[in-house]
Amino acid sequence: MRHRKTSRHRYCGGFTLLEVLLASAILAVLVIFLLCMGNGAVRLWRDGEQRRESLREARAGLQILAEDLHSAVITTNPASLLLEGKSNGSDLESDRLFFLVSHPCDRRNSNSKGDLCATGYFLAKDSDGNGCRNLYRYHASGEQVSAAFEQDEIFALYSHASPTNEATTELLARNIIGFEAKGLPEHSNPPTALKITLSAINGTAERLIASEPGATQRNQHLLRKHLQQYSTIIHLPPLRELPPGS
């Protein structure tokens, strides 16, 4: 009897074209998913850094301002505490705050005549001409302040506050686009406390706004996304009479 030989074909391992395409599609989806997660993490980190940048600038400004106000000399003379400007939270207009101050002994200049100083806080554009707004601190002491007080010319002394006057004015906090000083209780003169509010934004957003101030829609979007406001209430020293020549 003749036996028929049957050939057995072994299955060769491999992937079909459909399997390769399906695996490639899954891999592509995974790569895109990981990239999106990475980009999202980078955005979150960048946003956090920008918020911390705004916080550092505003906190430094508020701390120094509070120290000055705690040493303020508030008298019946309106020049001893002067609030200029009218703030509007939506327009971020700025106030100008000026007052007399007598610093503790460890903060006084040993060469100054007397302990009376004139201090002020105001917003102005960067002197570099980039259009960014900063918070500046004006400070004058010594014979200049004593003479101005004796001659009742403190208001004229405050007018010297300017970013270009480096002798008496220093940059205190960058990218502060709103500064409000509100007396408490309202309509009291002089007030017993001040509510100070700083509106801060990160440097990148502020440079974009300053570069195209006419791009209203874009700038409003940047403000909604990046604007941060920090407030504190600072109680003022009691009202006192200041004898001439102090």
* DSSP secondary structure code for residue 75 in this structure: -
Q: Are 65 and 231 spatial neighbours (Cβ–Cβ below 8 Å)?
A: no
Q: How many helices (H) and strands (E) does the chain have?
A: 5, 8
List, for residues 29-38, the tens digit of each pLDDT value: 888 888 877 7
Model confidence over 97-116: pLDDT tens digits? Answer: 999 998 766 555 555 556 78
Q: Strand runs (DSSP E) across the chain, as ranges? A: 81-84, 96-102, 116-125, 133-141, 169-174, 176-184, 193-200, 228-235
Please give the model's pTM, rounded to 2 decimal places: 0.77
Picking from 174, 140, 130, the residue whose alpha carbon sits closest to that of residue 160 is 140
Cα–Cα distance measured from residue 166 to residue 164, given in angstroms and rounded to the nearest whole number: 6
**Pair 67, 99: CB distance under 8 Å:** no
Q: Residue 231: is its pLDDT beyond 90?
A: yes
Q: How confident is the model at residue 246 (pLDDT cuts 50, 70, 90)?
A: very low
Distance CA 74, CA 242 (A): 9
Judged against a pLDDT cut of 80, whether residue 8 lies above it is answered with no
First-to-last alpha carbon distance for the chain, in angstroms, is 136
Q: Residues 32-69: pLDDT tens digits?
A: 888 877 777 666 667 677 778 888 889 999 999 999 99
Going across the sheet that includes 193-200, the strands are 176-184, 193-200, 228-235
Neighbouring residues of 214: CB distance < 8 A, sequence distance ≥ 6: none
